[in-house]
Amino acid sequence: MLISGAEIAKKVHAETKQRIDALKSRGLTPGLAVVLVGDNPASQAYVRAKDKRAAELGIHSLKHELPASTTQEELLSLVDALNADPALHGILIQSPPPPHIDEPAIVRAINPDKDVDGFHPLNVAKLALDDPTGFVPCTPLGCQRHLIEAGVQTAGARAVILGRSMIVGKPMALLLMAKGPGGDATVTVAHSRSRDLPAITREADILIAAIGRPGFVTADMVREGAVVIDVGINRVDDLIAPKGYRIVGDVDFQNVAPKCSAITPVPGGVGPMTIAMLMANTVTAAERLVS
């Protein structure tokens, strides 16, 4: 079974639109600010997609595109202004910023109540403590929604997460371990330094690949009947492709898919759900002001 993130995202957006309409009927329009520093092409594409989707849903969208020469102090000053703006309920600083920017310091400067990306230390702690008042990072939250919508039984399942980043791997592990729908799994977090990695990944009922290497997960690393969620978005050269490149995941899809009971494609899998959960988090931030 192919788990279409694009189709699930449509469902999430429909739910989010209803919530936005309900807020507007009470005189409140959710607001989201997206900040991009520099001219990274992939980041520019993400920011455009987020801004477009916010506008389509009826979210007040504010986009700041800053030059790569922007200083730490200038970026912090902008964050302070966004924190103070009552029309904005969510703030996202597109990652990665230029090397001279201290990204953790920028994240810590965002008001945790507006940190719809879920990376502020307070929100990370709330996730670890099963505190529902925090914000969960959008990509792992989208992965969990994939599993729920596909009817994948996570309770009691053996889940292996390939990758240990704060963006995906660590929060994904916390979500899968938590009690309730999409949780109650037995979780292993593996990475490039794990010994005998194929033996670990073959134990997985649910394998989530977020290691950032194109085609890294091969057929010999996946057990028959496993569910595979491919978080990777990698650009590889392809002279035959119209643009001269292709977007591929961390999974060798062609050879792995026949072994799976369910798998996400790339593109069209986790990517659309990341944006969908960002929009949903932004609306949640606005709802908390009137609840």
Phi-psi region of 162 (alpha: psi -120 to 50; beta: other; left: phi over 0): beta
HSE at residue 71, side-chain half, CA atoms within 13 A, is 3
CA 220 – CA 210 distance, rounded (Å): 18
Is 94 one of the annotated active-site residues of the chain? yes
What is the helix, strand, coil percentage profile of the chain, to 5?
A: 40, 15, 40
SS3 248: strand
SS3 47: helix
E strands, the chain, where? 31-37, 60-66, 90-93, 158-162, 186-190, 206-209, 227-230, 234-237, 245-248, 262-263
Active-site position among 51, 94, 170, 250: 94
Active-site position among 50, 114, 126, 170: 50
Tell which residue, 97, 95, 96, 43, has the closest CA to residue 74: 97
Q: What is the greatest pairwise CA distance in the chain?
A: 57
Helices then strands, counting H and E runs in the chain, come out as 10, 10
Is 50 one of the annotated active-site residues of the chain? yes
Is 117 one of the annotated active-site residues of the chain? yes
Active-site position among 113, 117, 230, 252: 117
Neighbours of 158 (CB within 10 A): 15
Q: Where are the alpha helices (DSSP H) in 25-161?
A: 41-57, 72-84, 103-109, 121-128, 138-149
Phi-psi region of 86 (alpha: psi -120 to 50; beta: other; left: phi over 0): alpha
Catalytic residues: 50, 94, 117
